[in-house]
Structure 1
């Protein structure tokens, strides 16, 4: 894949002023509608639809009210903390076409829709799993394997049971080093001290023999002054355009941590200044977005660990992410990719988009990734497996 600097692009995923950011900001305002008025907004179109087609089709309004109740209950159960009204309207729009189907098919599909709402909003966002990856390199011959945990996109709003399990899971994996690829906070909670404290509680509990390292994520989500307050008093080293050596055995591993502007034409020169092309040591790039991967390949990076896309957060079978949130579209939306000699891994992350975005995941479960990195004589070049967490 040839690198592109996107210098001529007007908007960038993850920055203010882009179409997605404007949409979720507008959607957040829908929650200001008074509850009685909003209930009428759900029932009146459904009633008109039923009058025009058949009265039993007006039951779609009842299902929409059920969606609203389910979404409004999420904060009370401390599962997620988003505004419920905009996602409820979106779900109503998705339900209306199925009301055109004959009875009883439309009722069966509306009921199936409720099951999907429960799964996507209540269940899957809490299904934190561990994905295992292996990588072999001749640069690491003669040194012991390195166990490395990578996670990203915490998007903290308030502490949840999933967040509490996260620390237990990471410790159970017994990593030599822990890496976080940015987005500490939800877009809704950037200036919320309660969210800062909840995020700090997680990072303060993390430790590893070779250290815990983090980079900042999207600038609107991770302002430098806020990240500094979150990490104050923890053992986390915040990498801001830095290269450090992880020493375990005779051959060191270089870790490059780069701040993300989401503009490759700005970030690629900073990466080149931090690397020796080609690097003599095995080199890991920790960078929030996958969009620098083609440039990382040109710089001889061995492994790039990124996030940002959430795997799309909502994925369709055989298609993948509806909105991949990458300048390269679906080519870098999630998972493991090989760009020449560079391995890229894009984590699905942990949290959810903020502001008025639906707090939903579908076919994109939150994950922590355990890497086992060693010499070429240690085994196959790469493999992966995934299991749900039972910790």
Structure 2
């Protein structure tokens, strides 16, 4: 099997870690990140009067250094208060514009706390940074989350014969709150790309809307509009997000075929693909055993390209040692917010910043981590920065010899 290395491929040689003593796993209810998200949600219930008082106090804090030097309240305090309220208005308008549906109060307080230190800068500089901050709020909440990126990748294998490449579209982390212009643009782009096969790697609903009937109906509507000649296959995402009950409904009501710890043989004009889907527990020790069982069956002994769908990238070190050739994952969202030179602030991976986003060569196996399409839920800001939502269109290219008999096409 030959792997075509792309310029942006990150090559990693890594051994699987032992997580037998790990108490909390990312993506599972009860982990520290999950607890923080849900604990801070209570702040959204604070009365508006209390909210206003807190913002005014933070504005006064921003002018404190000036006051200590000159014993007078600076103009910057009033400006800062106005900027705080402008942030609140911008965030409150997100649901009205059907952009996103997160809690505005908590996020406004977060932004205010971030803005205060910049108010301590020298005159001129402080105002410049605050204006830039407002521009970033508009861009991060209103523009980038809807600026869809179609990323093209190529994977070659001697197990596939030459001829027309097989076009495979990778979709991940929808996190649907409502059917918005983002979902519409995704479906329009999918129709335009016209892939042979669509693969989904988990997280259908937003964490804040798991039991919301409108969100569930919109998700069913979304998947009802997906189609491809070779089918639409998918797996569940994080256990805290994709409940089996809803995924069962989704697979029965739409063309989505749920690979629930199972594999299927796709016979294409280029050759056979063993497509495997593992239900992610976020515990690589457990999920490695499930994957090993799939690879031990009779299907795995055939001359097939072994493709794994698994929500988190954390299984990659294990999968690479079991003979998987291509693993498609999501979960990290690429961090959603990325800082130049630093990258993702948070990945939700057991391996930290080792697995962030994009293409990796892990012990010889190709791994792709999608930045996803939707946004984190609960009190997490519905924001993206330097981390556009993406669709990944793969060209699976055969480098093997064409057999005399044509493989059966499905």
Contiguous gaps of at least 5 residues in structure 1 = 379-391
- Asked if residue 290 in structure 1 is aligned to residue 313 in structure 2, the reply is yes
* 1:125-140 aligned within 5 A: 125-140=145-160
- Asked if residue 331 in structure 1 is aligned to residue 354 in structure 2, the reply is yes
* CA-CA distance at 1:279 after TM superposition: 6.7
Helix, strand or coil at the partner of 1:81: coil
**Of the candidates 31, 41, 44, which is equivalent to residue 28 of structure 1?**
41
Q: Deviations over 1:80-115 (max 9, x none)?
A: 000011111111111111111111111111001000
Q: Deviations over 1:31-78 (max 9, x none)?
A: 101112101110123124425524123122221111111111100000
Helix, strand or coil at the partner of 1:75: helix
- Asked if residue 12 in structure 1 is aligned to residue 32 in structure 2, the reply is no
Find the counterpart in structure 1 of residue 388 from structure 2. 365
Provide the C-alpha distance between the structure 2 equivalents of 1:182 and 1:194, rounded to a whole number of angstroms: 19
- Asked if residue 321 in structure 1 is aligned to residue 321 in structure 2, the reply is no
* CA-CA distance at 1:142 after TM superposition: 4.0
Find the counterpart in structure 2 of residue 252 from structure 1. 272
Provide the C-alpha distance between the structure 2 equivalents of 1:118 and 1:163, rounded to a whole number of angstroms: 20
- Asked if residue 312 in structure 1 is aligned to residue 335 in structure 2, the reply is yes
Q: 1:242, 1:256 within 8 Å by CA — same for their partners in 2?
A: yes
Q: Deviations over 1:124-144 (max 9, x none)?
A: 001111000001111113464
Moved more, 230-239 or 353-362: 230-239
Q: Deviations over 1:292-316 (max 9, x none)?
A: 0011101111100000000001100
**Of the candidates 76, 80, 90, which is equivalent to residue 100 of structure 2?**
80
Tell me the TM-score normalized by structure 2: 0.89
Provide the C-alpha distance between the structure 1 equivalents of 2:64 and 2:314, rounded to a whole number of angstroms: 50
Find the counterpart in structure 2 of residue 122 from structure 1. 142
Provide the C-alpha distance between the structure 1 equivalents of 2:189 and 2:122, rounded to a whole number of angstroms: 48
Provide the C-alpha distance between the structure 2 equivalents of 1:64 and 1:357, rounded to a whole number of angstroms: 18
Helix, strand or coil at the partner of 1:97: helix
Helix, strand or coil at the partner of 1:21: helix
Q: Deviations over 1:176-210 (max 9, x none)?
A: 10000000111111111111001111100111111
Find the counterpart in structure 2 of residue 45 from structure 1. 58
* CA-CA distance at 1:233 after TM superposition: 2.1
Q: Deviations over 1:335-386 (max 9, x none)?
A: 10001221000000011111111111111100010000112379xxxxxxxx
Q: 2:166, 2:270 within 8 Å by CA — same for their partners in 1?
A: no
Q: 2:62, 2:120 within 8 Å by CA — same for their partners in 1?
A: no
Q: How many residues align?
A: 378
Helix, strand or coil at the partner of 2:96: coil
* CA-CA distance at 1:213 after TM superposition: 0.4
* 1:156-305 aligned within 5 A: 156-249=176-269, 251-276=271-296, 280-305=303-328
Larger Rg: 2
Helix, strand or coil at the partner of 1:172: helix
Provide the C-alpha distance between the structure 1 equivalents of 2:215 and 2:245, rounded to a whole number of angstroms: 14
* 1:52-67 aligned within 5 A: 52-54=65-67, 55-58=74-77, 59-67=79-87
Helix, strand or coil at the partner of 1:365: coil
Tell me the TM-score normalized by structure 1: 0.94
Helix, strand or coil at the partner of 1:273: helix
**Of the candidates 65, 85, 89, which is equivalent to residue 69 of structure 1?**
89
Q: 2:187, 2:225 within 8 Å by CA — same for their partners in 1?
A: yes
Provide the C-alpha distance between the structure 2 equivalents of 1:348 and 1:5, rounded to a whole number of angstroms: 26
Moved more, 234-243 or 45-54: 45-54
Helix, strand or coil at the partner of 1:261: coil
- Asked if residue 93 in structure 1 is aligned to residue 113 in structure 2, the reply is yes
Provide the C-alpha distance between the structure 2 equivalents of 1:351 and 1:29, rounded to a whole number of angstroms: 23
Provide the C-alpha distance between the structure 2 equivalents of 1:278 and 1:303, rounded to a whole number of angstroms: 17
Contiguous gaps of at least 5 residues in structure 2 = 1-13, 68-73, 402-410
Q: 1:143, 1:251 within 8 Å by CA — same for their partners in 2?
A: no
Provide the C-alpha distance between the structure 2 equivalents of 1:362 and 1:151, rounded to a whole number of angstroms: 20
